[in-house]
Amino acid sequence: MSPAFLYFIETVLNGLMAGVMYSLVALGFALIFKASGIFNFAQGVMALFAALTLVGLQTGQVPFAHLINALFGTSIHHFGWELPAIVAIIGTLVVMVAFAYLFEGLVLKHLVNQEPIILFMATIGLAYFLEGFGDLMWGADIKAMDVGIPSGGSFWWEDVTREWAAEGSDYFGMYIDKLDVVAAIVAAFLVTGLVAFSQYTKYGRALRAVADDHQAALSVGISLRLIWVVVWSIAGFVALVAGIMWGAKSGVQFSLSLIALKALPVLILGGFTSIPGAIVGGLIIGVGEKLAEIYIGPFVGGAIENWFAYVVALVFLLFRPQGLFGERIIERV
Amino acid sequence: MRLKLLIATAAAAAVMGTAPAFADLVFPSLSYRTGPYGPNGIPFADGYADYFTLINERDGGIEGQKIKLIECETGYNTEKGVECYESTKGEGALLYQPLSTGITYQLIPKATADGIPVHSMGYGRTSAANGKVFPWVFNYPGTYWDAASIIVKHALDEEGGDLSGKKIALVYHNSAYGKEPIRTLEELAKKHGFELSLYPVDHPGQEQKATWLQIRRDRPDYVTMWGWGVMNQVAIQEAANIRYPMDHFIGVWWSASENDVLPAGDGADGYKAVAFHGVGSDFPLFDEIQKHVIDAGKAAGDGSHLGEVLYNRGVYAALLAVEAARTAMKLHDTTDLTPAMMRDGMEALVLDNARMEELGVPDFGPEINVTCANHGGPGLGAISQWDASSKSWSLITDFVGADREVVDPLIMEDSAAYAAEAGIEPVACGS
Amino acid sequence: MLYREAGDFKTSYITDLQTFPIKSERFLFWAFMAFAFLVVPFFINDYWEKSILVPFLVWSMVALGLNILTGYCGQVSLGTGGFMAVGAFACYKFMTAFPELNILICILLSGGVTAGVGVLFGLPSLRIKGFYLAVATLAAQFFLVWMFNKFAWFYNYSASGQISAPERTIFGIAVTGPNSPPWATYLTCLTIVFVFAWVARNLTRGRIGRGWMAMRDMDIAAEIMGVSPFNAKLSAFAVSSFFIGVGGAMFFAIYLGAAEVTEAFGIDKSFTALFMVIIGGLGSILGSFLGAAFIILFPVALKNLMVGYLGWPTDLATHFQIMIIGGLIIFFLIVEPHGLAQLWRLAKEKLRLWPFPY
């Protein structure tokens, strides 16, 4: 095979991998939208908050250290312990469940039956709050995320693909990031787990019932509030996974909350309500934007992938206004 | 009801307006400790504040005149920066250090109209180096165009003086800041015969796979970077991932803090960047700061950033401001400075090695000699390199000059264009 | 106390449709306007102008525009930042290409250009609805910013892509550029916003506005009743973009004076405008102003309180400021989901009946 063709395959492959990373973020959105019709603007900030908490717990940071020091004139920063990654992850999950419980009790409970845009606005308030809270709690510096995920280019894959090139060409193998492979495996498990959860468990069935019709679900004795806590907890878990993966790429810092923007075209393409849609949408967007950036970009000056993702999504929408896997919009007068 | 409303309005009005109070020498610090660039803003703001505190605590101020530092949080946001400027300028601010490209461009016309000097140290508008067109704006000791030229010079040295047929790639933040070096690099490419390729990265730059796949395919001999914020960490990580030789990867001084290289771990070893001041805390001055400021509990932050690149930059900025203030006091024979006097002091600033030795920062930066026509200083820079095992930067070259033949005409051209558009009559120098 | 009415005495449609049906309110409004036009200019200084009043007026203009589209016509848009950029760059090009052209004409023309661009990007709305449309308008946002950043013609080939507004005058007094007196820029903005708020009010209660609202409430029903979705939606996009374009031109030329597209007109501007409209009240002219006031003025007040008066470290104050704003948004939504304007309306209803609510 010619190097140019191999390079094309490499681009597609890396696009798929980037797409998986987008899907990880988009999954959280889709979950909450499906179960409660809320477009959760705070999903990105939740990922940041989860990642901050994870690193904070792991490295034994004192929460609110800055505030405490400013108030009492002390100088404390660390507890002086290092937790194993798995303990820190479990600790973070507890925090995210507590967060879901609080948010339901303090906010969502009071906003039952409001219009979607009002609920959307409430999540914006949440995003603001969590952004300030996270910074206050864990500080604004960049933290390295180290939970033992391998990263860096894979040598094995480079060697394998070098064989494929035609004799005599100076092809140097395909690049694939080990971190991305891990992310893809994690995403596969996550989606399988989520689908199994919603198909085969009691709560999963209740969740689907709520998604179908709030009132009908209530009338057969499903606790709406419990379901919401469950959904937000799961979204918190997905946010943690996204936070870990993206945090490993760039360090845990404020900009992590901006990954939500990468998930938006994925969502519209896949449909807001569909979990498989989030994955398929992510893959299409990932491949589309990488191909565009590399093969069209140089002719128009580059950096087109950001808006191109939206254009790809827009084109799909013109044919299917509810996204690829979204529920059909049925309108009656 | 009406009364309540009235009281509320009055209270709101009181809260909105800030009472001006003239006292001491006022240096506002438009810091950004929050937001996406907060991790970079914190050490700078700490360094800037700590040096002024040191002068106050140890020397009792500049020539006996106390310094008042007003910190105002901009979050790297232009509108907030304008708000900060307007709210602090009434307090008799002597000098602004705007710290973001956007805010600098805002303040250039405003501060000129208000008669307050602006020191955009190693950032902002490069052509402000032409003091004839920008009498109130200073950007010594070096500009982006100097940096670009110094990077190319370093590449020339590495390649034994010949770059013809080589490929140099520029990975840049797709904004005003990132686009600054393009013109200079294009000119240099013509002069030295290398091939320049451009890779813009959109804000925020968390996903750069496409960029680095292209670099991996094209295999440029050198990669330079004008990055900022999360883009730096991701770029260095990706470069390490594709096993690009890190000692051929050279960033500008804003892509060269500990924040940028630490997340990439060992992969970042050997990464280079151009710098306009010294690195590390191995200077007598820093012991003084530790003793008089941090151990005394008067530090602006938690004191943990001492010796980091951006902390040093903050200290350096404050040091230059204090030296300029001293110069101004000598010139006008008063300790009660006005912004106009401060400007004269900056324009007459001379900082040689002997003086730096006295201040406890021997060879910390290049010798500076600002003139009326040249506000850009000497335009010198050194190359620093990151050592991942000891987690420290070190300067691997002396401070070298930029290619003035290329940079100066560009500065003249751009400042002339600005003068024409804004209707500015250049001031006469050398009288 | 405030309101002294004793019943509903309207005898014609004209009186029924008045903007300020209550006499004392009408009086209050004009008194307020007189204060804004005749008193404030004598006391305004740089700080009040550049940090508080002009940003408030500019953002009110943008919020008005977005409210027409989102609040009255029900089309959620996140392309506001991009449309503001169109207004700003159009204004810059007009100002530099035709130096003798009056700045007011420049600003209006840029509104016109933006209206055209808005219609173009509004076309998908004929097929896509709700949040899907919101995300689709993001395409406009990202594309427009990319375009202004990429093609040097838009920023007259300057080295860095920054645009800065040259000095322009009205009646011989500078209103753009660094030497413009605070009262002049303030009065210019106030006049533009006043006129366009009046236009918006009258558009929204006329035939076109009713078409928009019908479209918002139920588009299929509206179509059956003879409202053309094509006309209604695209006219909403056009008018809204015109307002936003004028707002963007003012933002660049009068308020900031210099701008760089990626920084000044990024995605956060789109979100800010949307927050204003929702917090202020969808489908309310007053709400646009209240929302702008909340988002622009409240943080400044909080900052001055915490840093200026209580002397807190700036970073702690900023964290608290963000948290308080977030908390207040949620609080307001729980108390009154339909925005500050509705809160005002309810308070007024109560006051009109007070002290005999039954």
Q: Do B39 and A140 touch (CB under 8 A)?
A: yes
For residue A270, pLDDT beyond 90: no
Helices (H), A139-258: 155-164, 178-200, 202-212, 214-219, 224-250
Model confidence band, residue B252 (pLDDT cutoffs 50, 70, 90): very high
For residue B22, pLDDT beyond 60: no
Q: Do C46 and B16 touch (CB under 8 A)?
A: no
**Poorest-pLDDT segment among B194-198, B311-315, C125-129:** C125-129
pLDDT at C2: 60
Question: Stretch C201-213: mean pLDDT, rounded?
Answer: 92
* Reported ipTM: 0.90
For residue B183, pLDDT beyond 80: yes
Contact of C264 with chain B, judged by CB distance below 8 Å, is answered with yes
pTM of the model: 0.92
Model confidence band, residue C357 (pLDDT cutoffs 50, 70, 90): low
Residue of B nearest to A289 (CA): B210
d(CA A193, CA C190): 58
For residue B20, pLDDT beyond 50: no
Q: Do B16 and C300 touch (CB under 8 A)?
A: yes
Helices (H), B253-302: 258-261, 284-289
Condensed to tens digits (0 to 9), the pLDDT of residues C63-91 reads: 999 999 999 999 989 999 999 999 999 99
Residue B270 distance to chain C (closest CA, Å): 30
Condensed to tens digits (0 to 9), the pLDDT of residues C160-191 reads: 788 888 888 888 889 888 888 999 999 999 99
Residue the block writes with tokens 């994955």: A279
Contacts of C329 in chain A (CB under 8 A): 121-122, 124-125, 128
Question: Stretch B369-377: mean pLDDT, rounded?
Answer: 89
Q: Which of C4, C32, C162, C319 is the best residue to mutate to test the B interface, defined by the most B CB atoms within 10 Å of its own CB?
A: C162
Contact of A190 with chain C, judged by CB distance below 8 Å, is answered with no
Residue C196 distance to chain B (closest CA, Å): 24
For residue B19, pLDDT beyond 50: no
For residue B2, pLDDT beyond 50: no
For residue B214, pLDDT beyond 80: yes
Average pLDDT along chain A: 88
Q: Which of C76, C141, C146 is the best residue to mutate to test the A interface, defined by the most A CB atoms within 10 Å of its own CB?
A: C146
Residue A48 distance to chain C (closest CA, Å): 15
- Counting residues of chain C whose pLDDT is more than 70, the rounded percentage is 97
Q: Which of A114, A131, A317 lies closest to C322 in CB terms?
A: A131
Peptide bond into C182 cis (omega under 30): no
Residue B426 distance to chain A (closest CA, Å): 35
Contacts of C160 in chain B (CB under 8 A): 101, 125-126, 176-177, 179-180
Pairs of CB atoms within 8 A across A/B: 109
pLDDT at B297: 85
Name the more confident of A2 and B197: B197
Condensed to tens digits (0 to 9), the pLDDT of residues B27-83 reads: 999 999 888 898 899 999 999 999 999 999 999 999 888 999 999 999 888 889 999
Q: Do C304 and B86 touch (CB under 8 A)?
A: no
Secondary structure element (H or E) that encloses residue B226, with its range: strand B222-226
Specify whether the CB–CB gap between B63 and B326 falls below 8 A: yes
Contacts of A255 in chain B (CB under 8 A): 36, 204, 206, 229-230
Q: Do C260 and B417 touch (CB under 8 A)?
A: no
CB burial readout B147-162, b (16+ within 10 A) else e: bbbbbbbbbbebeeee
Q: For chain A, which chains pass the contact test of at least 3 CB pairs under 8 Å? A: B, C
Question: Stretch A195-218: mean pLDDT, rounded?
Answer: 85
pLDDT at C4: 66
Name the more confident of C88 and C278: C88
Q: Do C159 and B180 touch (CB under 8 A)?
A: yes
Beta-bridge mates of residue B380: B401
Q: Please name the residues between 200 and 259 in chain A that touch chain C, using a CB distance below 8 Å.
A: none
Question: Stretch B260-268: mean pLDDT, rounded?
Answer: 89
d(CA B128, CA C91): 25
pLDDT at A333: 65
Q: Do A314 and C139 touch (CB under 8 A)?
A: yes
Q: Do B259 and A262 touch (CB under 8 A)?
A: no
- Counting residues of chain A whose pLDDT is more than 90, the rounded percentage is 37
Reported as half-sphere exposure (CB side, CA atoms, 13 A), residue C300 has a value of: 29
d(CA B33, CA B15): 23
Residue of A nearest to C138 (CA): A310
Q: Which of C66, C137, C142, C271 is the best residue to mutate to test the A interface, defined by the most A CB atoms within 10 Å of its own CB?
A: C142
Condensed to tens digits (0 to 9), the pLDDT of residues A136-173 reads: 999 888 888 888 888 888 888 888 888 887 777 778 88
Pairs of CB atoms within 8 A across A/C: 136
Q: Which of C2, C158, C258 lies closest to B417 in CB terms?
A: C158
Contacts of C218 in chain A (CB under 8 A): 333
Q: Do B39 and A253 touch (CB under 8 A)?
A: yes
Contact of A330 with chain C, judged by CB distance below 8 Å, is answered with no
For residue B9, pLDDT beyond 80: no
d(CA C322, CA A130): 9
Contact of A296 with chain C, judged by CB distance below 8 Å, is answered with no
Q: Which of A11, A140, A258 lies closest to B213 in CB terms?
A: A11
Contact of C177 with chain B, judged by CB distance below 8 Å, is answered with yes
pLDDT at C358: 62
β-strand B67-73 against B25-31: which pairing, if any?
parallel
Residue of C nearest to A41 (CA): C271
Specify whether the CB–CB gap between C175 and C184 falls below 8 A: yes
Q: Do A135 and C319 touch (CB under 8 A)?
A: yes
Contacts of C264 in chain B (CB under 8 A): 78, 102
Q: Do C330 and A268 touch (CB under 8 A)?
A: no
For residue B251, pLDDT beyond 90: yes
Contact of A64 with chain C, judged by CB distance below 8 Å, is answered with no
d(CA B329, CA B334): 5
pLDDT at B18: 43
Q: Do A290 and B213 touch (CB under 8 A)?
A: yes
Residue of A nearest to B34 (CA): A140
Show the tokens assigned to B122. 């190693």
Condensed to tens digits (0 to 9), the pLDDT of residues C17-65 reads: 777 777 778 888 999 999 999 999 988 988 888 889 999 999 999 999 9
Residue the block writes with tokens 């292209």: B214
Neighbours of B401 (CB within 10 A): 16
DSSP per-residue codes, A15-34: HHHHHHHHHHHHHHHHHHHH
Condensed to tens digits (0 to 9), the pLDDT of residues A31-46 reads: 888 887 888 989 999 9
Show the tokens assigned to B57. 């605590």
Q: For chain C, which chains pass the contact test of at least 3 CB pairs under 8 Å? A: A, B
